[in-house]
Amino acid sequence: MEASGTRSVAIDTRGGALLGSVLTGDSATAIQLPPEAFVPPAHVPAPPGLDNLPARPALFVGRARELERLDAALASQGQAVVQAVHGLGGIGKSALAAHWAATRPHGHTPLRWITADSAAAVQQGLADLATALQPALARALTAQELAERAAQWLATHTGWLIVLDNVNDPADIAALTARARGGRFLITSRLATAWTHATTVVRLDILTPAESLALFTRITTAQHPGRDLDGATELCEELGHLPLAIEQAAAYLAQNPLTTPRTYLHFLARHPADMYRHTAATTPTEHTIARTWNITLHRITTLQPHAADLLRTLAWYAPDHIPTTLTGPADPPTRDAALGLLAAYSMITPDAPTGTVAVHRLVQALTRTPDPHDPHRTPELVDQARQQATTNLHTALPDTWSTPATWPTWRTLLPHIDAFTEHTTLDTDTTTTAYILSKTGLFLDNQGQPGRTITYLQRALTDRTRVLGEDHPDTLSSRNNLAGAYQAVGDLGRAIPLYERTLTDMVRVLGEDNPDTLTSRNNLAGAYQAVGDLGRAIPLFEQTLTDMVRVLGEDNPDTLTSRNNLAYAYQSAGDLGRAIPLYEQTLTDRTRVLGEDHPSTLASRNNLAGAYESVGDLGRAIPLFEQTLTDRTRVLGEDHPDTLSSRNNLAGAYRSVGDLGRAIPLYEQTLTDRTRVLGEDHPDTLSSRNNLAGAYRSVGDLGRAIPLYEQTLTDMVRVLGEDHPSTLASRNNLAYVYESVGDLGRAIPLFEQTLTDRTRVLGEDHPDTLASRNNLAGAYQAAGDLGRAIPLYEQTLTDMVRVLGEDHPSTLTSRNNLAGAYESVGDLGRAIPLFEQTLTDMVRVLGEDHPDTLASRNNLAGAYQSAGDLGRAIPLYEQTLTDRTRVLGEDHPSTLNSRNNLAGAYESVGDLGRAIPLYEQTLTDRTRVLGEDHPSTLASRNNLAGAYESVGDLGRAIPLFEQTLTDRTRVLGEDHPDTLTSRNGLAGAYESVGDLGRAIPLFEQTLTDRTRVLGEDHPDTLTSRNNLAGAYESAGDLGRAIPLYEQTLTDAERVLGQEHPITVTVRGNLTAAIAGREGRAKPS
């Protein structure tokens, strides 16, 4: 074929007609279009094989809810449907779209996948569709023309599904989605806020822990099913359950079967930049976390550099609930624009109701990991972000940590301070970091979290020592704070040397008279007091007070605090004669200097009330506690910790005066409020729980007391540690309540453990250790083991005299207890003089009306009664009852005890005409005050039954014994010593009425149970044996009676001694049985 002539053309039509135009000219070209180019797009059918979905994810897991939401849009027939799936890069948007398109019964065809991350990519995807529809057009039309033809095809057909993957700019697809309305568009994008026109918008979140572990396991075990997956759960958690991160790590491990997930975690911690960048050799580099997010960060940086800076700053905090106060100093419009852009690209998640934002933990981890190969994570940028995060935290901190109004802010910031501390290292810490750590440590101390307190204060001290030097005032202050934290946790072994070193350095650096030096001396004195070393504490408090008066003046608040501390030391030493006047002077001066409503004045009033309570002057203590509570509520508010402490103290005073009807509700309210305000694990809350348990015990409600004591001990061990003084006190209290319920099998080991631990932790001479020794001796005594009880009482008394002094209230109590043990063993020759000496000293030290003095008088009367000296016992009982009624009130439990004891003395002397009415009155009052089921009420009922028996009124005695036994069994349990006593008493009453058929089996059962519960040598067991022998004797069965008397006498002489009343009684009964005489005595 040829052409000739000027501007001639030749066209080969290949035997067909010429369709098109022929252009001539110097630059003309001729294009021959295939015939199908002239077919309108509306008439072009979809050929087979038009679908181009990427390979369906073989290991797709979860996402049921999201798939169902996409399915739901199918119900909207007859309208254009645009479905948008948005979320963080790597979250699995593309995988979800591919899985849904390939597997769900949506009924759409053809299925086309278009990468839509730019306008050019959208155009190319449409051009590819046009080419797939009419392949010949690819040789004839430009990409733009092909894209337009594809758009026309979509606009004129229905039933198709187009996936627009990874849309970065909605403008790139806006014209297409507006024009083509006969099918379905499924959009995936990192943008979260551009899809208001979509029929369905699905925000894709991370996988659940179970889903991420399943995905991880399937990838890593596909080729190695038996491999070690140790650490898999922790690794998925560390990767934030992000699908792409899970797949990246799993692919790496699949390629390296000898590497365990735990080892990968180690790699991630040691080499984070490499691990975020690398994956398996067969995985494309663009399918890594670092590469995926780098694309987004590049776009964000281009649009607004401050947004990228803000993201790097947020990376140092906890992932959730980041308050806007931590977003930095930028002006609000700039800050809001940055937050909006980050949210738009799903790099953060705003929470409008709380005003906070969240950042995926893996985004944070990657963003704060320096990588010199990544322009968005250079070491310089990461360091700048860390410094900005430090500044933001410092700016957001409240000025104080002790005011409840600041606590919500502190609690909001605390997770972010924790995260910041975890993510930073000592070598990058600054003075600002140290300030944050120090203030946070003090807040945690205030909130009762000693373990975390110490961690923060130790790091603050390390930072200040490194940056400022050992002698800088802030360093010395940090050392003092850390010593205080050690003291709070009961670690006086570390606290005292640190206080001593700090005081020495402050004297050298700041001078002896510097206020900080004086405060340091005061703190050291307090530590000496806490360890029980009052011999060093009191002189140091006295010296500090003298120096503060000289340096600061008498009215300086620190001087007044020093005076208060000295008063408390005197109180701890039992020297109330010096403590109370000093408390009174301090209260007067604080009122004058600071005002009536100042918190320190209110604290002084509370302390003075406590001193009045210690001296037994509840008539002054309770009104002062009540006034303090009223004023603290008005000034500080109902929920202030000091107000809650006042309420607790007032409840304790009500309990001391025997008013459990007011004490228990107040304890319950305080516990509820402390739980709400301070939290369940705060030491004050745990203390409230312990106090409430004690009140329940006082009222005889052991069913509530014991579980509460047990729960408190468990929580104290968990929160404070096994060796904390409060934990040891809680263990002691639980042991005591076990003893109260007669469960010596649990009480004694717990007392022994507590003594061992207190000796190890606090030292042999600490007052709490001495108290533990006394309590253990009491438990041995309760178990009838006087061979161990008396030496322990004697040792404790000797040590208390040496450590605390002869006149300390605890020493006087110890002397009283030893006298009681001597009385129990029948050694009245030592018991009575010791009781008499103790009473004399208590009158001199505590005063005639102190509750302990009144108790001492009651005990001496009891010893006189045991010695048969009713001529001295009864007047002393009567005087004690009169004084207790006057001092404590008619209804105080101790007053009711005195009335019961006096009735018993009248009964002993045979004056049943006075004994029975007094027993009856006591029972009535105990029932009214303590309740029908209180152990003391049950004891009154038993005693009254015994008095009726003594007067021969068995018609009233036996039903009352039976009722008491039934109630004690129900309330205290079958094995409680009081229950066994009731059974013995009822058996005796049956014997008295001649009903030996019921008496003997009941005596036998009681002996068996006492032997099992109390042991063969317990005095009550020996008494049971004597009583059973007597019953055999009454039945004429001397063949069993005499051997039992003989065995009992032998054991009584061995255990109790020749002259013990029980021994004497048994000996008399044996003699009478052998002689065949009638009549025998029964020990009570």
What CATH number is attached to the domain comprising 33?
3.40.50.300
Does residue 214 share a domain with residue 174? no
414: amino acid identity, one letter? L
Please give the residue that has the higher pLDDT: either 577 or 792. Answer: 792
d(CA 618, CA 756): 36
Does residue 231 share a domain with residue 86? no
Contact (CB, 8 A) for 375 and 648: no
* pTM recorded for the entire structure: 0.72
d(CA 1013, CA 1022): 13
Please give the residue that has the higher pLDDT: either 403 or 705. Answer: 705
pLDDT band, residue 882 (cuts 50/70/90): very high
pLDDT band, residue 490 (cuts 50/70/90): confident
d(CA 406, CA 394): 15
Ramachandran region of residue 827, left (φ > 0), alpha (ψ -120 to 50) or beta? Answer: beta
Three-state secondary-structure class, residue 784 = coil
Domain boundary among 205, 232, 257: 205
**pLDDT value of position 283:** 53
Contact (CB, 8 A) for 642 and 603: yes
Does residue 226 share a domain with residue 82? no
Range of the domain at 788: 749-826
Please give the angle made by the CA atoms of 209, 212 and 214, to the nearest 5 degrees: 105
d(CA 978, CA 1020): 11
Share of the chain above pLDDT 90, in %: 57
**pLDDT value of position 919:** 95
pLDDT band, residue 100 (cuts 50/70/90): confident
3-state helix, strand, coil in the chain (%, to 5): 70, 5, 25
Please give the residue that has the higher pLDDT: either 282 or 93. Answer: 93
pLDDT band, residue 673 (cuts 50/70/90): very high
What is the C-alpha end-to-end distance of the chain, expressed in Å? 143
> In the beta sheet, which residues pair with residue 114?
164
**Other Cβ atoms closer than 10 A to 696:** 23
Average pLDDT over residues 71-80: 62
Helix residue spans in 239-304 (DSSP H): 243-255, 261-270, 272-277, 289-303
Would 268 be classed as within a structural domain? yes
pLDDT band, residue 876 (cuts 50/70/90): very high
Provide CB contacts within 8 A for 915, sequence distance 6+. Answer: 903, 904, 906, 907, 947
Provide CB contacts within 8 A for 138, sequence distance 6+. Answer: 131, 146
**pLDDT value of position 564:** 95
Would 58 be classed as within a structural domain? yes
Q: DSSP letters of 38-76?
A: GS-GGG----TT---PPPPPTT----HHHHHHHHHGGG-
d(CA 625, CA 620): 9
In the predicted structure, residue 1032 carries a pLDDT above the cut 90: yes
**pLDDT value of position 276:** 67
In the predicted structure, residue 636 carries a pLDDT above the cut 50: yes
**Other Cβ atoms closer than 10 A to 11:** 12
**pLDDT value of position 88:** 64
110 preceded by cis ω (within 30°)? Answer: yes
Chain segment 703-714, per-residue pLDDT in tens: 899 999 999 999
Burial group, residue 322, by CB count within 10 angstroms (0-12, 13-18, 19+): buried
**pLDDT value of position 453:** 93
Does residue 321 share a domain with residue 186? no
**pLDDT value of position 688:** 96
> Total domain count for the chain?
3
pLDDT band, residue 743 (cuts 50/70/90): confident
Q: How far does CA 52 lie from the centroid of its chain?
A: 57
Ramachandran region of residue 62, left (φ > 0), alpha (ψ -120 to 50) or beta? Answer: left
- If you average pLDDT over each of 123-137, 212-226, 1069-1083, which comes out highest? 123-137
Does residue 284 share a domain with residue 377? yes
Contact (CB, 8 A) for 392 and 428: no
Would 736 be classed as within a structural domain? no
Domain boundary among 183, 205, 227: 205
d(CA 1008, CA 998): 16
DSSP 8-state class, residue 322: E
Would 221 be classed as within a structural domain? yes
Residue 1005, token pair as written in the block: 């059962």
**pLDDT value of position 93:** 79
Give Dmax over CA atoms of the chain in angstroms: 168
In the predicted structure, residue 387 carries a pLDDT above the cut 80: yes
**pLDDT value of position 18:** 45
Does residue 172 share a domain with residue 38? yes
Average pLDDT over residues 983-1012: 94
Torsion sign (Cα): 703, 705, 706, 711? positive
Contact (CB, 8 A) for 722 and 734: no
Chain segment 810-819, per-residue pLDDT in tens: 999 999 999 9
Provide CB contacts within 8 A for 599, sequence distance 6+. Answer: 635, 636, 642
Would 510 be classed as within a structural domain? no
Share of the chain above pLDDT 70, in %: 93
Estimate the crossing angle of helix 143-155 against helix 171-179, to 10 degrees: 40
Mean pLDDT of the chain: 88
Does residue 307 share a domain with residue 261? yes
Query: Token match 């409503």: residue?
Result: 597
d(CA 192, CA 86): 6
Please give the residue that has the higher pLDDT: either 671 or 933. Answer: 671
Quick one: which of 1006, 970, 971, 972 has its CA closest to 986? Answer: 1006
Chain segment 894-906, per-residue pLDDT in tens: 999 999 999 999 9
pLDDT band, residue 366 (cuts 50/70/90): confident
> In the beta sheet, which residues pair with residue 162?
112, 185
In the predicted structure, residue 423 carries a pLDDT above the cut 50: yes
In the predicted structure, residue 1083 carries a pLDDT above the cut 70: no
DSSP 8-state class, residue 974: T
Average pLDDT over residues 824-834: 90
**Other Cβ atoms closer than 10 A to 924:** 12
pLDDT band, residue 347 (cuts 50/70/90): confident
Three-state secondary-structure class, residue 356 = strand
Does residue 147 share a domain with residue 259? no
841 phi/psi in degrees, rounded to 5? -70, -40
**pLDDT value of position 39:** 85
448: amino acid identity, one letter? G
d(CA 287, CA 178): 32
Residue 301, token pair as written in the block: 């940086």
Residue 222, token pair as written in the block: 């596909």
Query: Token match 């409680």: residue?
Result: 976
Please give the angle made by the CA atoms of 645, 765 and 526, to the nearest 5 degrees: 45
Does residue 125 share a domain with residue 101? yes
d(CA 850, CA 692): 25
In the predicted structure, residue 21 carries a pLDDT above the cut 70: no
Query: Token match 């002054």: residue?
Result: 620
Does residue 169 share a domain with residue 25? yes
**pLDDT value of position 491:** 84
d(CA 969, CA 778): 24
Would 900 be classed as within a structural domain? no
Burial group, residue 866, by CB count within 10 angstroms (0-12, 13-18, 19+): middle
**pLDDT value of position 290:** 67
Query: Token match 């009624």: residue?
Result: 885
Please give the angle made by the CA atoms of 282, 288 and 294, to the nearest 5 degrees: 145
Average pLDDT over residues 325-337: 89
- What CATH number should be reported for the domain holding residue 766? 1.25.40.10
**pLDDT value of position 1:** 44
- If you average pLDDT over each of 365-369, 655-659, 725-729, which comes out highest? 725-729
Residue 265, token pair as written in the block: 């975690």
pLDDT band, residue 94 (cuts 50/70/90): confident
Average pLDDT over residues 5-20: 51
**Other Cβ atoms closer than 10 A to 94:** 18
**pLDDT value of position 16:** 46
Strands 200-203 and 81-86: parallel
In the predicted structure, residue 403 carries a pLDDT above the cut 60: yes
Does residue 138 share a domain with residue 124? yes
Contact (CB, 8 A) for 231 and 260: yes
In the predicted structure, residue 279 carries a pLDDT above the cut 70: no
Does residue 87 share a domain with residue 152? yes
Three-state secondary-structure class, residue 963 = helix
Would 892 be classed as within a structural domain? no
Query: Token match 């500080």: residue?
Result: 636
Please give the residue that has the higher pLDDT: either 733 or 214. Answer: 733
CA dist list (Å): 877 to 487, 884, 900, 924: 46, 10, 10, 20
Chain segment 301-328, per-residue pLDDT in tens: 988 999 999 999 999 999 989 999 999 8
In the predicted structure, residue 1044 carries a pLDDT above the cut 70: yes
Three-state secondary-structure class, residue 203 = strand
Q: DSSP letters of 861-903?
A: HHHHHHTT-HHHHHHHHHHHHHHHHHHH-TTSHHHHHHHHHHH
d(CA 751, CA 736): 8
Would 711 be classed as within a structural domain? no
The mean-pLDDT minimum among 74-83, 266-275, 874-883, 985-994 falls in: 74-83
Domain boundary among 398, 432, 448: 398
> In the beta sheet, which residues pair with residue 82?
185
323: amino acid identity, one letter? P
**pLDDT value of position 815:** 96
592 phi/psi in degrees, rounded to 5? -70, -40
**pLDDT value of position 19:** 45
The mean-pLDDT minimum among 377-386, 452-461, 824-833, 855-864 falls in: 824-833
**pLDDT value of position 284:** 55
Length of the chain (residues): 1084
